[in-house]
Amino acid sequence: MFSPRTIEPDIPVCGSTLRPVTSTDITNFVIDLVVTRRLSTEGAERQLPLPQAVFHILVALADQDRHGYAIMQHVVTRTNGALKLSPGTLYGSIKRMLADGLIVEVETRPAPKDDERRRYYRMTRFGHEVAQAEANRLTTLLRQAYAAGLTSKRAW
């Protein structure tokens, strides 16, 4: 019997519900493996600076897989309404992020009765590296602003 396990940390081969491996799971795994290996050799820093929407999408996907509307809601909540991604900005960014290997589409559904039309996205290892590099870049900028007297230390 096939037991639940993970080949790569962020690409499940068989989820916790013991569902069969699908062709999309295998395709996403191969894409992640090939794209991540290719892009990692180029370095995450080459992707920087990230557009604001892309960074917020990566942050939204850092802790769990989400569908598009859930990403939009997460960004609004996390920014206290200061940033609202329009559907055009969200899905245009997602399209580029898929092509750049920052995220992959997954078939795994959090609930069995979830709307099958929803597409769920997951951050790849390379996406995680890029998000970390961007966070480090922004931290450095904030430290420089503090040193120049442009912000208080309480801001961060």
Distance separating alpha carbons of residues 32 and 38, to the nearest angstrom: 10
DSSP 124: -
Q: How confident is the model at residue 35 (pLDDT cuts 50, 70, 90)?
A: low
More confident residue, 115 or 139: 139
Q: Are 15 and 110 in contact (CB under 8 A)?
A: no
Arithmetic mean of pLDDT, 81-105: 97
Tokens 């709307």: give the residue: 115
Distance separating alpha carbons of residues 133 and 43, to the nearest angstrom: 10
Select from 116, 103, 118 the least CA-distant residue to 53: 103
Select from 77, 50, 75 the least CA-distant residue to 131: 50
Other Cβ atoms less than 10 A from the Cβ of 68: the count is 17
> What's this model's pTM, rounded to 2 decimal places?
0.72
Return the pLDDT at 129: 95
Q: How confident is the model at residue 95 (pLDDT cuts 50, 70, 90)?
A: very high
Domains, the chain, ordered by start: 6-155 (1.10.10.10)
